[in-house]
Chain A
Amino acid sequence: MSEEVLQQATPGLIPGSGTARAAKPTRLSPSFISWLQAGPMMLVFLAFFLIPLVFVVIVSFWDYNEYQLLPAFSGRGYTDTFEGCLAQLPDLCTIGKTYLKTLKLCFMVWAITLFIGFWVAYFLAFHVKSKTWQMGLSLLCTIPFWTSNVIRMIAWIPLLGRNGLVNSGLMKTGLINHPVEWLLFSEFSVVLALVHLFTFFMVVPIFNSMVRIDKSLIEAAYDAGATGFQTLVNVIIPLAKPGIVIGSIFVITIVMGDFITIGVMGGQQIAAAGKIIETRVNALQFPAAAANAVILLAITFLIITMMSRIVDIKKEL
């Protein structure tokens, strides 16, 4: 019955495919088939990523006034962005300071998420023996993702505030006399929130690489007399490298473009590359915003290129 319904729904297809079936193997080359397989994703990429990106680059070279884009070639978006960079030397200009700050935050978050992520993945891959437990525990890691990013971030505020849980706890135990101010609206709170939000993006790819390491390699290292540390450095880390690099790319690209977490946890007082773009967009200065987006993209791309120099992901996968 259900078969009949199906055929009713696609009446034209069946006879048509019957005639094509014989000719197919000769007509389609293997490369064409792989293009066909990659095609849908490629089209999605083209429509929702590459074409918009081309527009962003084009708009970044337009001029603008208070209320509209002027489609005439102009480098104003860029020159305004780097305003005063030469005059202020050796001091850094706004864009220089902003990127330095963003890179600093990015590096701290990357280092901490890598450290935590690596050991969580290590534990899951090598210390948890049963597959069921491995699955169960890694699913457990995803539970925080059931609530929104923003909520998980904002939840820190009542904890870290001047009269927050941490401060009042420390005051009661007599460890401090005055509330600690740097807990909230500081680089500390920004890094804390970002680490909390994004460590999982490190765990998953590293774990994925680690479980694929052939256990006999580790046994061989052990048999050859390697210490635990030597095995880690010479066997596990090199083999987990693709996971480390992929996780790092996730974390770095997210943190480089972030402005919401940095804004909320930094009390809007900490500059970020994404924040500049937001302010420009809000002031309806789209070409300037686009120019900043292109600069951010270029810098992020540079970092990723350097990382893929260290590990050839294509080969490793």
Chain B
Amino acid sequence: MTETTRTKGVSRRTLLKGTAGLAGLAAGSGAITGFPYVKSADAKVLRYLGTAVNEGDDIAKQCLKDTGIKIEYITATTDDVTKRVMTQPNSFDVLDTEYFSLKKLVPSGNILALDAKKIKQFDNITPVFTKGETPGGKKIGGQGTAPWKVLYLEGKDSKKFATSPTEFVTLIPTVYNADTLGIRPDLIKRPISTWAELLNPEFKGKASILNIPSIGIMDAAMVVEASGKYKYADKGNMTKEEIDLTMKVMTEAKKAGQFRAFWKDFNESVNLMASGETVIQSMWSPAVTKVRSMGIACTFQPLKEGYRSWASGFCVSKGVSGAKLEWAYEFVNWFLSGYAGAYLNRQGYYSAVLSTAKAHMEPYEWAYWMEGKPAEKDIKAPDGSLLEKAGAVRDGGSYEDRMGAVACWNAVMDENDYMVRKWNEFIAA
């Protein structure tokens, strides 16, 4: 028995050796004679790291159809996207992230600026990003990390933001919006016109703010300024004293029971509002749309002090080069060519290149979403579900009115570390 096994063992080993040799030969011959490498027949694949905002399935499908590039989404929250860029820069190819995180990402050296000359539509990108004004010429508030402050780098591998345009672009803009408070008009039953209402004792136990420090602090600052308690030199870059003061106001309100809850993700904000737990809170545009599509009245209320804005865009991982880099340019160019822009506009966001998006939208859609005109027909979401009946007008009105009224941008402050500690203190109070 033992002997038979032994012989079998030997024969098995030789067999293994043989196979390995054959495999090696095959691989070698492939390399030498230049047989078609199996991988090259595969689709062009890009790993796309970002938040759920832009990552629509329809966008990926259309992209594959138009360019042959297969997009693999890696979805994470804003904080986790940044964390991933810092700790695993090789785990993605294309990065879609917000401008305010650039203050952390650029010095880390883990991302690669894109070449403006290779972006076909670069000159058509809305002046919101390049000049800080609307196409109609309205100056936009620049407090916080406004995109035009961090749009260009001094050189290809530079870690310094350039003050005048260069060809090295940190993030090619994709999507942005102007955020404000969401309210339940059916429960409040009176007009709301200022950020100060968030701390109005009338809404005690029915207000909420978002618990993401770098965004929540901006909403808090809007409230403090609106209530006339303090005027900041730059809300987006507070001094330690200003942070203390802001958190003191918020802490007092919290202790008095003003807030029902804080929220951290999109769905939490929808649930709070839809269930009537809160009637006034910081909110994001598509969350308001979602509450409304549940048949519940909810308004994305324009306020006299203006909006808090945010913007995001594309760059690539430092590990991307060669053919992959070309695909990345091809993808970014495709993204700006209209289909994706129209898709984003139909969700209530704004696209970076307005002209191409317009070409992909029906005139009545463009009039409703971008010009602030009453809807001629029913307004549908990209998935075909009904958003607004004919005759409805978008909250806040036209693109000019909304983006022109932006007061500040999401920000990473110089005193970010201190702010985060104070925010923890606010939660613990």
Contacts and interface: CB of A to CB of B under 8 A. Distances in A.
Interface stretch (A7-15, A113-121, A248-256, A306-314): A7-15
B412 A66 contact: yes
Contacts of B425: 94
A68 B80 CA distance: 15
A270 B262 CA distance: 10
Given A7-B5, A67-B86, A284-B86, A268 B276 contact: no
B187 to A, nearest CB: 11
Contacts of A97: 428-429
A98 interface: yes
Interface of A: 7-8, 11-12, 14-15, 18, 66-68, 80, 83, 94, 97-98, 101, 157-158, 161-164, 181, 184-185, 263, 267-271, 275-276, 279-285
Contact of A67 (B1, B107, B213): B107
A182 B82 CA distance: 36
B9 interface: yes
B261 A268 contact: yes
The 6 closest A-B pairs by CB, nearest first: A267-B261, A11-B9, A271-B428, A268-B262, A282-B79, A94-B425
B12 A8 contact: yes
Contacts of A15: 2, 5-6
A66 B214 CA distance: 13
Contacts of B421: 80, 83, 94
Q: Which of A14, A66, A80, A270 has the most CB of B within 10 A?
A: A66
B104 interface: yes
B254 A184 contact: no
B130 interface: no
B420 A185 contact: no
| Size class of the contact patch on chain B | 35 or more
Contact of B417 (A98, A162, A283): A283
B117 interface: no
Nearest to A76: B417
B271 A157 contact: yes
B417 A11 contact: no
Nearest to A264: B268
Contacts, number: 105
Contacts of B427: 268-271, 275, 279
B275 interface: yes
Contacts of A271: 424, 427-429
Interface string B66-92: 000000000000011011001000000
B263 interface: yes
A181 B205 contact: yes
B83 A282 contact: yes
B275 A161 contact: yes
Contacts of A281: 83
Contact of A8 (B5, B82, B261, B423): B5
Contacts of B104: 66-67, 284
Residue among B211, B271, B412, B428 with most chain A CB within 10 A: B428
A279 B5 contact: no
A184 B206 CA distance: 12
Nearest to A270: B427
A285 B277 contact: no
Contacts of B12: 8, 11
A219 to B, nearest CB: 54
A14 B80 CA distance: 52
Given A67-B105, A271-B427, A161 B277 contact: yes
A158 B276 CA distance: 11
Given A14-B2, A279-B420, 4 more contacts: A67-B86, A67-B108, A161-B277, A184-B277
B259 interface: yes
B304 interface: no
A68 B275 contact: no
Given A66-B107, A67-B105, A162-B276, A269 B86 contact: no
A269 B275 contact: no
A94 B426 CA distance: 9
A66 B83 CA distance: 11
B188 to A, nearest CB: 15
